[in-house]
Amino acid sequence: MHSPLFSTVVAILVWLLTRAFAVLALAGSGGSIFVDMQLYEVWAGIASSGAAPEGDETWQYPPVMLLPVWLGQLLPWNYQPSFVFLALLADLLVLIFILAMRRSSNAAWLGVWVWATAGLWIGPLLLARLDVFTTLPAIASLALLSRPSLSGAFAAIGTLMKVWPGALLIALPRRQLPWGIAGFAASVVVLWAITAVVLDDAWSFLTNQQSRGLNGESLAATPFIVANYLGFDIQFEHRFGSNEVAMANADASAGVVAALGIGLIVLLVLLRLIGALERALPADVGLIAVLSLVLVSRVFSPQYLIWLGALAAVALLSRDTRMRVPATLIVISGLLTQPLYPWFPGAIYSGEPWAVLLHVLRMLLLLIALIYGFRVIVDWSAVKSFLRQPLAFRKKHRHDSQNRYARNHVDPTQAAVLGQPQSPQHPDRE
Q: Strand pairing partners for 215?
A: 244
Yes or no: say if 189 and 159 are a contact pair by the CB < 8 Å rule: no
Residue 412 has pLDDT above 90, yes or no: no
What average pLDDT does this structure show over 95-117?
88
* Alpha carbons 247 and 196: distance in angstroms, whole number: 37
Residue 185's pLDDT is 96
Residue 240's pLDDT is 65
Higher pLDDT, 256 or 403: 256
pLDDT tens across 303-323, in order? 999 999 999 999 999 999 999
* Alpha carbons 134 and 68: distance in angstroms, whole number: 10
> Among candidates 152, 174, 378, which has minimal Cα distance to 267?
378
Residue 39's identity, in one-letter code, is L
pLDDT band at 232 (very low <50, low <70, confident <90, very high): confident
Higher pLDDT, 225 or 60: 225
pLDDT tens across 262-303, in order? 888 899 999 999 989 999 999 999 999 999 988 888 778 889
Residue 410 has pLDDT above 60, yes or no: no
Residues counted in the chain: 430
CA 389 remoteness from chain centre: 31
3-state secondary structure the chain: CCCHHHHHHHHHHHHHHHHHHHHHHHHCCCHHHHHHHHHHHHHHHHHHCCECCCCCCCCCCCHHHHHHHHHCCCCCCCHHHHHHHHHHHHHHHHHHHHHHHHHHHCCCCHHHHHHHCHHHHCCCHHHHCCHHHHHHHHHHHHHCCCCHHHHHHHHHHHHCCCCHHHHHHHHCCCCCHHHHHHHHHHHHHHHHHHHHHHCECCCCHHHHHHHCCCECCCCCCHHHHHHHHCCCCCCEEEECCEEEECCCCHHHHHHHHHHHHHHHHHHHHHHHHCCCCCCCCHHHHHHHHHHHHHHCCCCCCCCHHHHHHHHHHHHCCCCCCCCHHHHHHHHHHHHHHCHHHHHCCCCCCCCCHHHHHHHHHHHHHHHHHHHHHHHHHCCHHHHHHHHHHHHHHHHHHHHHHHHHHHHHCCCHHHHHHHCCCCCCCCHHHC
**Dihedral of alpha carbons 289, 295, 298, 300, sign:** positive
pTM: 0.86
- Cα separations (Å) of 41 from 29, 66, 222? 20, 11, 32
- Cα separations (Å) of 359 from 145, 215, 217, 341, 346? 35, 13, 8, 11, 12
Question: 390 preceded by cis ω (within 30°)?
Answer: no
Residue 291's pLDDT is 94
Residue 257's pLDDT is 77
Residue 177's identity, in one-letter code, is L
Residue 238's pLDDT is 77
For the chain, the average pLDDT equals 84
Residue 429 has pLDDT above 70, yes or no: no
What are the structural domain ranges in the chain?
4-383
Residue 2's pLDDT is 67
* Alpha carbons 266 and 350: distance in angstroms, whole number: 37
**Dihedral of alpha carbons 359, 364, 367, 368, sign:** negative
pLDDT tens across 203-228, in order? 777 766 666 678 888 888 888 889 88
Residue 258's pLDDT is 76
Q: Which range, of 130-139, 155-164, 380-389, 407-416, averages the lowest pLDDT? A: 407-416
* Alpha carbons 284 and 265: distance in angstroms, whole number: 15
pLDDT band at 105 (very low <50, low <70, confident <90, very high): low
Residue 188's pLDDT is 94
Residue 210's pLDDT is 60
